[in-house]
Amino acid sequence: MKSEHSSNATFSFLFEIAVDEIEKTRAELPDQLRAALNEVALVLEEFPSPAQEADGVARDQLGLFDGSDATDPSSPQMPRIVLWLGNHWEMCEAMERDFREEVRITFLHELGHYLGLDEEDIAERGLE
């Protein structure tokens, strides 16, 4: 996992919690899905950057899948899942249990996009 963030203590705290929750979630996935995650970079940021916002990312967006999905392995660029932890924390009103749950849901939602699922498929699985 890669961290792109400001150097504040709150983000460090959120990063540690998010890594813990993502690792627990990964461990619960079937072997085939865990293996698929080896082909995706996971980036944890505090908030979207001005450049990301200029590219259409909403200021309060929770996550993003960027790149070619698993059904199109021809792209030379590694796909990535980005989670904005500050937005999760704000949405959850600084409640750790809720934060963990939303990080898990967003991580699985973006993984679904990597696997080629559209918003309807993801919603059917309760990952919205």
- Ordered by start, the domain boundaries in the chain are 2-124
What's the confidence (pLDDT) of residue 127? 66
Q: For residue range 101-114, what is the model confidence (pLDDT) as tens digits? A: 999 999 999 999 99
Q: For residue range 48-57, what is the model confidence (pLDDT) as tens digits? A: 999 999 999 9
What's the confidence (pLDDT) of residue 49? 96
**What's the alpha-carbon Rg for the chain, to the nearest Å?**
14
2-124 folds as Zincin-like (3.30.2010)
What's the confidence (pLDDT) of residue 46? 95
Whole-number Å distance between alpha carbons of 90 and 60 = 9
What's the confidence (pLDDT) of residue 125? 77
Compute the average pLDDT of residues 19-30. 95
Q: What is the mean pLDDT of the chain?
A: 90
Helices (H), the chain: 9-28, 31-36, 50-54, 85-91, 96-114, 119-124
Supply the pTM of this predicted model: 0.88
pLDDT classification of 1: cutoffs 50, 70, 90: low
Whole-number Å distance between alpha carbons of 12 and 113 = 27
What's the confidence (pLDDT) of residue 88? 97
